[in-house]
Structure 1
Amino acid sequence: MSHFPQYNVNNEHQLIRRQNTFVLDRKLITFHSQDRDVSQWPNANYFEVTLPETLNNVQSMRLVEIQLPGNQYVFSNNQQNIKMQFYIIPNVSTQTSKYLALEAQSTVPYEITIQEGFFTPSEMATEIQNLMNQVVTNFLVNEAGLSGAVYDNFSVYYDQVGQQMYFGNNFDNFQFNFTQQIKYDVPCDAIINDNQPNEVWYQYANWGLPSYLGFSKAIYNPIDISGNFSFEYASYDWLIPNTSILPPSVTPHAYYIAAPNTICMFGDSAIYMEMDKYNNIDELYPYPMRTTNTYNNDYNGKVNSAFAKIPITTTPNSQIFDSRNGFLQNVTQYHPPIDKIKKLKFKFRYHDGRLVEFKDCNFNFTIAFNQLKDEIARDYVVRVPAEYNL
């Protein structure tokens, strides 16, 4: 039986049968954050560009390569995790004026604000220790009027073995009350859509600086010790009761609070790239609290919420390089194909909707567009030189 097409050979005007044959044409377009109009899109985490030419009949798209700066701040005002409060319950000392000033302030919290950026655990311990002592010193000098007063009783230590933070005071009792919300002023340009959380305090994770340090939303009172406190692997005593300002016949005391959980200071592990109108990745909404309730059930998700998920595989002071040969596995197909694409709008965010802060560091990425182009099928006989197999 013949497999050749059957034509009417008696017809003087032969027609070639029309078949729905298409060729898949791949178009690569590279995008740089510098390509945006900064007067319209001041931040690189959200911008729109016009393509060099209109793309027609787009059947699929894929993020094939991306380079991002590894300078994302873990701690910032927009992320509402740079403040912490504490109380001091002073013990009687020979410095009467300082004791009376601290006693009058014992029901009012002291508040510290750390620098925005990325910290190692040891750097965080030093930062908090200095700020806690400084904020009390400022109170004694500026509000209590004690010129030249210095407060340096606080000591913060990072236990590298247990990966926990220790907060100590070598003379005064103190307290952490993390059940009280700390307010932040977040600028409006940091919030673009409803996914951006207005107040992270209501989350059960990453709800503020104490959460990153290993604390829960609770009140923490210190452990009272009368002797020196040290770690077995360390060659020195970390906390020693201060006896220099102790009244006669009074037992010296020191106090410390150990974070109940390990630190978690590395921030987010993935960046989500959105491409307006062309997303294909589904997500669940984070931080559900009432998934079994009949009413006010907050278990939810969003269909087509992102175009690509980009793992953060580096630490600060480096760059993130990824490609389809690495962790990028996104391929978005469209049925039917997209008729025309002239503009694209991108957004870079974290899972909970917070926008990535690139701090004006440039980045770039490449997207492959697969277009269906109509053609008349042809049978080619192609000889591949043997050298090509080397």
Structure 2
Amino acid sequence: MNTIQTNSNYVVFKKILSIHSEDRDIYQWADPNHFEITAPVEYKNVVSLRLNDIELPSSYYVFSNINQNTKLSFSILPSGTSSPYASILYGKVFTLMITSGTYNHDQLTIELAGTLNQLLSDYISSNTISIANNYNYFSVTYNPVTMKMMFLNKRDNFQFDFTKVESYNTCDTKLSIAYSVTCYDNYTNWGLGSYLGFDKKIYTSNPMNIICTTPVSYYVIQPENTLNLYGDTHIYMELMYYNSMDEVNPYAYKSHASNNAKFGGKHNSAFAKIPLFQPNSVSFSSRETYLSNIFFSDPPLERIQKFKVKFRHHDGRPVDFNNCNYTFTIEITMLKPDTIKPFIKVNSSNYCL
């Protein structure tokens, strides 16, 4: 990345470089969120770079192990009625794990209730043969007015423990990179409980009569906060050597304190900030709409041919495209020496006034 310094006259011209994630060497860059490509030519006397447009598939998951928001710890507690499962379930901590993906509220209520009941059914089945092992007492509902979920059990008292830091498998290389960020240390999006509307504390169910045709008694837990199904609204693109965007570090803590303060920022940390749109679709952004980026160099860069990109979230987690392809274009502005051009001779006899 050399620079040139000269007093010659130049004219400005632009080139567009089209890049697809499948252009990368997959043996060297296995994941599409981080790779390097070599352009077909050298771009000389470069004064600016801009992300002209980008098309991203909405193949990323809101709930995934990389986002550390698929697990929930709970336990079954003694209730006022006798339970055939008492000796098996009481006093044991279970960890629910939902399937990675992107849900709407109806899909998530079905997934949570089904996973809660199936987990307990499997545990009962593996520990006894004398009683029925089909546990189906959990249900989950969603109120579209309050935008909150409700967890119900028609037989057993139960408890959710969101003070526990859930562990995730870090053997996978992709996951080990993501786990350099511990989401539970954050005060938002710290785990599945945060997305469901809970705080970092222990919740114990309360008895409640719910009237349908006849009153039915349930043990109920309801979060204080609304359901969050959308995850991050933006991702960041880094372009090695050419980042020009500053960022404030997320999750500041005691920023006015003289001791143990946690705040700050990063200078020239990103090349572009890219909005994310609806899941299960393809989103297109261009510089005329939502993209925020430009890189200037004064004096101009002598030559550029290699481009190394990385896509991440604001807190540093890599974007997981689930191996789906995407494409973007970079606008390259260059200076070209302004050579003296010969005069054009015109035969005046060919023109009449």
Given the two structures, how large is their TM-score scaled by the length of structure 1? 0.82
Alignment of 1:372 with 2:335, yes or no, is yes
Is 1:339 matched with 2:302? Answer: yes
Q: For residue 141 of structure 2, what is the amino acid of its counterpart?
A: Y
Q: Name 1:218's counterpart in structure 2.
A: 201
Match of 1:326 in 2: 289
1:270 aligns to 2:234 (yes or no): yes
Partner in structure 1 of residue 3 of structure 2 = none
Aligned residue in 1 for 2:37? 49
Please state whether the residue corresponding to 2:267 is helix, strand or coil.
strand
CA distance in 2, matches of 1:301, 1:163: 34
Change (3 A) 1:191 1:175: closer
1:58 corresponds to 2:46: yes
**Could you say what the CA RMSD is over the residues aligned between the two structures, in angstroms?**
2.2
1:220–1:71: structure 2 CA closer, same or farther, 3 Å change rule? same
Q: Residue 181 of structure 2 contacts residue 315 of structure 2 at CA under 8 Å; is this kept in 1?
A: no
- For 2:283 and 2:49, locate their aligned partners in 1 and report how far apart those are by CA, in whole Å: 22
CA shift, 1:112, in A, is 1.0
Residue 311 of structure 1 corresponds to 275
Report whether the alignment pairs 1:228 with 2:210. Answer: yes
Provide the rounded CA distance (Å) in 2 between the counterparts of 1:80 and 1:183. 9
- Residues 335, 190 of structure 1: CA spacing in aligned structure 2 closer, same or farther, 3 A cutoff? farther
Cα distance per residue 1:35-70 (max 9 Å; x no partner): 000000011000000111111110001111111101
Mapped partners of 2:112, 2:86: distance in 1: 23
Query: By how many angstroms is 1:222 displaced?
Result: 1.8
Q: What letter is aligned with 1:158?
A: Y
Q: Partners in 2 of 1:189 and 1:84 — Cα distance?
A: 22
> What amino acid is the match of 1:155?
S
Q: Is the aligned partner of 1:209 residue 2:192?
A: yes
Q: How many residues align?
A: 338
Where do 5+ consecutive residues of structure 2 fail to align? 1-5, 345-353
One-letter identity of the residue aligned with 1:277: Y
Q: Following TM superposition, by how much is the alpha carbon of 1:240 offset from its aligned partner in structure 2, in angstroms?
A: 5.7
Q: Which amino acid is the alignment partner of residue 101 of structure 1?
A: I
Give 1:352's aligned residue.
Answer: 315
Which has the greater radius of gyration?
A: 1
User: What is the Cα deviation at residue 145 of structure 1?
Assistant: 4.1
Percent of aligned pairs sharing the same letter: 37
* Deviations 1:203-238 (CA, angstroms, capped at 9, x unpaired): 11111101000000011122212x324xxxxxx56x
Q: Which 5+ residue runs of structure 1 have no aligned equivalent?
A: 1-17, 230-235, 242-252, 382-390
- Structure 1 residues 146 and 373: alpha-carbon distance in aligned structure 2, compared to 1, 3 A threshold: farther
**Aligned position for 2:87:** 100
| Aligned residue identity for 1:219 | I
